[in-house]
Structure 1
Amino acid sequence: MRDYIIVTDGTSDLAQGMIDELGIVSIPMSFEIDGKAFVHYPDGRELAPKEFYDKLKQGSKSVTSLINTETFLSVFEPIIREGKDILYVAFSSALSGTYNSSLIAKEELEEKYPKAVIKCFDSRCASAGEGLCVYTAAKRKEAGMELEELYTWLDKNILSLCHWFTVDDLFHLKRGGRVSALSAGIGTALNIKPVLHVDDEGRLIPMEKIRGRKKSINSLFEHLENTITNPQEQVIFIGHGDAIDEAEYLSGLIREKYQVKDIVINNIGPVVGSHSGPGTIALFFFGTKR
């Protein structure tokens, strides 16, 4: 069987060290703050996460863009020329047009290279949830799983990958159309911290309105308690928007109750962070249902 490479995009919010360790390819993504363009690399070389969130706190606006077909061609084609196949794990198609761009590139390259196999998988995941999907896929590849088998496994299990978020700043959700200006104003005045999740279609859905920051983070843990499966076999991912102390607090709640394999904490990058804002805490694990 031909070897294959796992490719993902910058929204998977994986640290550079993990990308290197897993032997995957992560396609950087572009964003723009106050009219200045940046590329989000996993090592933060153009704009470090702290600087990005500081800019948002100071009132700067960040605009994101999808990965276009030309970029996919430039990443995929050299891998195909090496005689390897591709499994591309994409940011949720309900949140971005990136997945659709990858399909156009796949079609073009499979026509040009008839022996090549390119599988584009719509993860219906976001941020480190997508990262956990990629991590899990890479570990299964390491264990000897072939491309077709891995694609089938992902398709069968992806709706067990749970995403629970809480945001600190309602006005970022307002900009993304998730809440109205009135709701954002009232919610801020009442110290309401919404809890959201990513549903089976890969959409970000508000689920609860909780009063107080600590209670909202505790709520993420309660959702994990209610649905987690085989915790002793799991590596759990936590993402944060410049809120490491709260991320570590959540990690502590989990470790206190469960003997998990590991907990990986990483920054929510600027592409997702542009929409979720500073102070976001996100929890990702495998459970009975999303």
Structure 2
Amino acid sequence: MSYKIAIDSCGELLDEWKEDERIEAVPLTLMVGGESIIDDETFDQKDFLKKVAECPECPKSACPSPERYMKAYECDADHIYAVTLSSELSGSYNSAVLGKSLFLEDYPGKKIHVFNSKSASGGESLIAMKIIECENKNLSFEEVVSTVEEYIEEMSTFFVLENLETLRKNGRLSRVKALVASALKIKPVMGSTPEGTICQLDQARGMNKAIVKMVDHVAEKGINIPSKTVAITHCNCQERAKMLEEAIRTRLNPANVVVMDTAGVSSMYANDGGIIVAV
């Protein structure tokens, strides 16, 4: 059976997906000051980070419209899947679900399922990989949905921030705390809750120590890691990502590791130097 995956632009695309008609990125819109930036193939990470650093206001994002998702669903595929940001972080999931409902009014026979990743960035990428794996095994639509939903329930996402300015600008950290943390080189270790919200798990003085603590949390909370792929996404810090990949391979022995640079929405969340792990 043929399939299509529509993944919102917070999920990073593997290089081979960018030329694959079965995979479509549905872009969010980023707003920095008064400027709107479409998070598509034209996104310029370096220019975006510069604009964020210079803007006193917190950057924001706007989710794709239901109509945009409906456009993504318009295809000849037998099975159609959407993968979105956590519904606790964005309206993308609700938009994709509404788009599905509207689309099915005109095409009631189509099989469409929207996955709430309860994650972001590489977590969405892993879900798309799992869908492809299931489709390649010729599972039925219902079996794919069930298998992938179970996979999502086992997933965990972690990240470490180099730059605390986004947290400060969006009100999650006072200016005084941000200044003190920066002066003491304190780096928060963040993670996802089972519901898909964000929480602080730990902190450390210095980025390297924070990454070590993050790997500790991955080891503690990750389920069946030796049989799974680990996704590492980084915002403009390739060497740091390589160091993290080596630590994860050595300590946790996953089946595979993929390393990707963040696209627009993930760059906004992670900020310059941030790094994300999903498993």
TM-score, normalized by length of structure 2? 0.91
Of residues 41, 60, 63 in structure 1, which corresponds to 2:60? 63
Shift of 1:184: 1.4
Give ranges in structure 1 of 5+ residues lacking alignment: 286-290
Q: 1:33 maps to which residue?
A: 32
Counterpart CA distance in 2 for 1:211 and 1:36 is: 35
Q: 2:159 maps to which residue?
A: 165
Counterpart CA distance in 2 for 1:17 and 1:36 is: 31
Which amino acid is 1:53 matched to?
A: L
TM-score, normalized by length of structure 1? 0.87
Shift of 1:230: 3.7
Residues 8, 207 of structure 1: CA spacing in aligned structure 2 closer, same or farther, 3 A cutoff? same
Task: Please give the per-residue CA displacement for 1:61-94, whole angstroms capped at 9, x wherever unaligned.
Answer: 6332111112112221x21xx2633111111100
Check the 8 A contact 2:5/2:80 in 1, yes or no.
yes
1:51 correspondence with 2:50: no
Counterpart CA distance in 2 for 1:106 and 1:12 is: 20
Of residues 119, 141, 149 in structure 2, which corresponds to 1:125? 119
Q: 2:2 maps to which residue?
A: 3
Shift of 1:26: 1.8
Residues 220, 18 of structure 1: CA spacing in aligned structure 2 closer, same or farther, 3 A cutoff? farther
User: Any idea what SS the aligned residue of 1:38 has?
Assistant: strand
1:1-290 matched pairs, under 5 angstroms = 3-20=2-19, 23-41=22-40, 45-59=41-55, 62-76=59-73, 78-79=74-75, 82=76, 84-285=78-279
Q: Which moved more, 1:7-16 or 1:27-36?
A: 27-36
Q: 1:288 maps to which residue?
A: none
Give ranges in structure 2 of 5+ residues lacking alignment: none
Q: Percent identity?
A: 24
Check the 8 A contact 2:154/2:223 in 1, yes or no.
no
RMSD over aligned Cα atoms: 2.1
Shift of 1:219: 1.0
Check the 8 A contact 1:196/1:208 in 2, yes or no.
yes
Shift of 1:265: 0.9
Shift of 1:267: 1.4
Which amino acid is 2:44 matched to?
A: A
